Every structure is written in C-alpha cells, then in structure tokens.
Amino acid sequence: MQALKLFVVAAFAVMISFSFFHSTKVSSQVRQTTDSNDRFLPRTPVEVERQSASAFSAQAATTTTTLTVTEAPAAFDNKTNGYLTQGPAFDTLNEDTVVAGRSFNDNRFIFEETEIIADGLGPTYNAQSCRECHQNVVTGGASQIAEHRTGHMTNGQFFEAPGGSLVHSRATDAAIVERVNFQDDIRTFRISTNTLGDGFVEAIANDTLLDIRNAQPFSMRGIAITVPVLEAGNIGRIGRFGWKAQHASLQSFAADAYLNEMGITSPLFPKENTSGGNDVSAYDTVADPEDDGDDVTAFADFMRATKVPPRGPITSSVTAGDSIFRQIGCNVCHTPTIVTADPGTRINGGAFTVPAALGDKIIHPYSDYLLHDIGTGDGIPFLPTSDYAFSANTIRTAPLWGLRTRNRMMHDGLTFTLQEAILRHAGQASAVTARFQQLSGTQQSQLRAFLNSL
C-alpha cells in the first residue's frame, strides 16, 4: 500500500511538471543526450487548442453546443475520408504517373512504394515500405511486425544501446547488420500500431486530452507528455502517437519512421543512423536529405485521409459486454468517445489547421492517448535523461479500435488472447482487473464478445 501511494505521488508530481507547469527544462549535470535526442526536446509549453464543448462525451458535446458534430466515416475500404480527393484509379498509377500530394490514391501509392538502395534505403533499416508494417486489413492498418529496442541501466540511469535504443533488423551490407550487446540487457519488442483514423486523433485538441486526464480518478490518472512538433520548430504539443505517445504530429512521425524504419533522410531528419554507433557513410550512396520532404508530406496526408476502423456486427452479447466494459472501469483509460477540435483550429504549433473533414468529428478510439503504468512497462524511456525516466515503465493506453484485426497484443506483441491481455493489466489497472476476475464466466465472455466487435 505504501509503495502504491508513493507511486501515485510520484506519478502526480510528474504530471504536474509535465502538464501544469509545462516543464521543458533539462538539468545539465545529468543530461546524456546526443544530437539526435536534442531534436526531441520541446522548445515551448503546449499551446491552448481549445475545444468549444466537452469533447470526450458526445452527449455533452451535442447538448451543450449548437455546433454540429458528426460521426467520423468508418470503413476498411481504401477510400478517402474527405480530407483528400480519391484521385485516379489506384491500379492505373505507377512510378511515372504518381504525383505526391495530388490525391488519396497517389499518397497511398507512395505509402506502399518499395524503396531500394538508389532511393536511399538503409544503410541500416527495418523494412522497405510503410505498408510492409502497416497493412492489415488495408494499407495503414497494424501488423505483426515488431521492432527491437535495447539499452541498460547504470547507477539508476538508463543508457541506450550505442547509436540509439532501436536495433535495426536489416542492413544493405552484411558487415553493418546491427547486433545486440550483451551488456544491453533491457530489451523489448514494440509491435506495429494502426494508423487508420489517425488524422482524427491528430485533430484532438490538447485541452481535450488534459480534460480526459483530469476526470480520471487519482489512482488511475494518466500522464500527458509534451513532445516537440518538429515541423513547427519544436513547439510543444501533447503526444499521442506510438507506444510512448512520442509524437503529436503525423508529419513528425512520418519523417521519424522514414529514417528509423527505412533509413531515408528528409529535412526533419537529415542525418543517417549508425550501425551500433559506427558511422556507415561508406555504405551510403545517396546524398542527404534523400527525400526532399514530399514523400513525408504524402505519408502524413495519406494517414490524415484514412477512415477510422469500423465496428463488427453488434449482437446482444456485444451490447451486454459494452455495459460491462464501462461498469468495471475499462473505459477510464480506454476512452470510448472523443470529439475532435472545431474546423479552423490551429494545431501542431500552428503548422496545421483542422480541415472540415477532420473537425467536429465523433470518434471511438477506446484510448485516452495518455501514458499509464499497468505493470507492462518495457524499461525504455522516451529519452535517456533523468527528466524522462518516469516514462520507462509507462505505455500509452492501446487504442482498441480495430482490435479484432490483431492477434498479437500489447506493446511487445507477446500476448495472444484477450483473456491474457486483460489479466496482464496490473499497476494502475489492478482494481479494474480484480473486478474483471469477479465477473461470471458469461459476463467475461460477453466482455470478450464486445472486444471482438471493435
């Protein structure tokens, strides 16, 4: 009990420093960052991105405002949500006819494109196209592909593996394939997440995420982490993408993925990765930046134009399971309903304005996009500094939309059944897990039926 209280106090202290005072200071004595980590320091506090109504309850939103909020379009159909035009028939596009930015189909083609060494692939990388890891059941979805991160602790401080915690699984030459050092005994897999519907998630106002956090009971309260929007000169915004909520903008994430998954540099990430800390420029034939930024914008706009994952059939067991999900408190972290910011709201530090297709939309992501310690933490913090040490054992609430398309669950992809996923929830979710265990067999199966409808 004492330990739990201490944890709660610590979590609250972190929360205060991150979100009320918007602390961005990093003490110099303990700072162990490299250039590439400096890139990840927010330069300013988060900006107010106010939502005109209570945005995490559709009911409140529709009754307290005259604005029209509507459900976001949902389907696995490779069709635009309205943010971009659909464009020329997809199967008529090829490398010569595709035009970055012209339409949903053009940008999807670029998201699916297989990169080769002449395009800048590698020297160290994980896969050749965004689609390779984001494809199930349509382009942009999740997949079973996991990436590998490692590091170690010395005197209570986390150190990343040489060259960064991400250990690439492939290289363009056998001599530079990255290996794991035995000293780096903190290791984890992080499985590929879904990006469908993420344009709506990007359009959630900072203030909405803070309102969700503030309404959570103290012992289950999440942490809102402030991260830099790279295309806005590192202006701070509440992170929401990735297992550590490490990005707030899809453009920043896309540039990060282009470098760190595929080895392709772009204006926001102009410097190549190493192989275990060793320079690999001898293996790199293409001048940096390898992409002038057009591909990165096409990836971001493709994801912004995707529809949200649709629900499966709603049976009577599903409806019963839905009520149980709320009664036992799963919904505290897995927030069922959020409304996006009004069209015209400036977000991403001013770099993006919410368009009509993405604004005032009701979404059902079943996530608060906040970090929680439910006892599954992988030990690897957002940045290897003492300021971010708190993030080592916190994970973003996994959004449950599209869950029925995933058969490997949790950040490491090492949980294979819903029952085991639920029972793995400890820490801040302990009380909810205990309530789950008290349910009858029928109630538990109704809850699983509900989860299988997401």
Q: What angle do CA 51, 54, 57 make, to 5 degrees?
A: 125
CB of 332 to ligand HEC, least distance (A): 5
Nearer to ligand HEC (CB atom), residue 53 or residue 251:
251
Q: How many C-beta atoms surround the C-beta of residue 118 within 10 A?
A: 9
List residues binding ligand HEC (CB under 6 A).
Answer: 126-127, 130, 132-134, 145, 147, 190-193, 195, 198, 220, 241-243, 250, 253-254, 257-258, 261-262, 299, 303, 328-330, 332-334, 372, 374, 376, 395, 397-398, 400, 403, 406, 409-411, 418, 421-422, 425, 428-429, 432, 436, 451
Least Å distance, CB 108 to ligand HEC, is 11
Q: Indicate the residue among 176 and 403 with the shorter CB distance to ligand HEC.
A: 403
Block residue for tokens 């976001």: 72
User: Furthest-apart CA pair in the chain: how many Å?
Assistant: 65
* 8 A C-beta contact, residue 413 and residue 146: yes
Give CA 364 to chain center in angstroms: 16
Tell me if the bond preceding 289 is cis, omega within 30° of 0.
Answer: yes
Q: Which is nearer to ligand HEC, 51 or 433 (CB)?
A: 433
Spatial distance between the Cα atoms of 161 and 165, rounded to a whole number of angstroms: 5
For strands 70-71 and 361-363, give the pairing: parallel
φ, ψ at 449 (rounded to 5°): -60, -40
Shortest spacing between CB 253 and ligand HEC, in angstroms:
4
> To the nearest whole angstrom, how small is the minimum distance from the Cβ of residue 371 to ligand HEC?
7
What is the pairing mode between strands 70-71 and 124-125?
A: unpaired
Which residue's structure tokens are 């004595």?
Answer: 29
C-alpha span between 366 and 454 (Å, rounded): 9
Tokens of 312: 């499966």
Q: Minimum Å distance from CB 289 to ligand HEC?
A: 14
Shortest distance, position 189 Cβ to ligand HEC, whole Å:
8
Nearest distance, CB of residue 62 and ligand HEC, angstroms = 26
Q: Which is nearer to ligand HEC, 187 or 411 (CB)?
A: 411
| 69 versus 303: smaller Cβ distance to ligand HEC | 303
- Select 65 or 443, whichever has its Cβ closest to ligand HEC: 443
Cβ closest to ligand HEC, residue 134 vs residue 276? 134
Q: Which is nearer to ligand HEC, 162 or 375 (CB)?
A: 375
Number of Cβ within 10 Å of residue 428's Cβ equals 24
Whole-number Å distance between alpha carbons of 16 and 29: 22
- The whole-angstrom separation of Cα 121 and Cα 127 is 9
Structure tokens at 191: 């499985």
- 8 Å CB contact between 183 and 152: yes
Nearest partner of 365 among 392, 386, 335, judged by Cα: 335
Contact partners, residue 174, CB within 8 Å, separation at least 6: none
Could you give the CA distance from residue 60 to residue 310 in angstroms, rounded to a whole number?
Answer: 23
Closest distance to ligand HEC from the beta carbon of 279 (Å): 23
Nearer to ligand HEC, 53 or 399 (CB): 399
Q: How far is the CB of 429 from ligand HEC (least distance, A)?
A: 4
CB 403 within 8 A of CB 452: yes
Residue 373 C-beta: closest distance to ligand HEC, Å = 8
Nearer of residues 389 and 454 to ligand HEC, judged by Cβ = 454
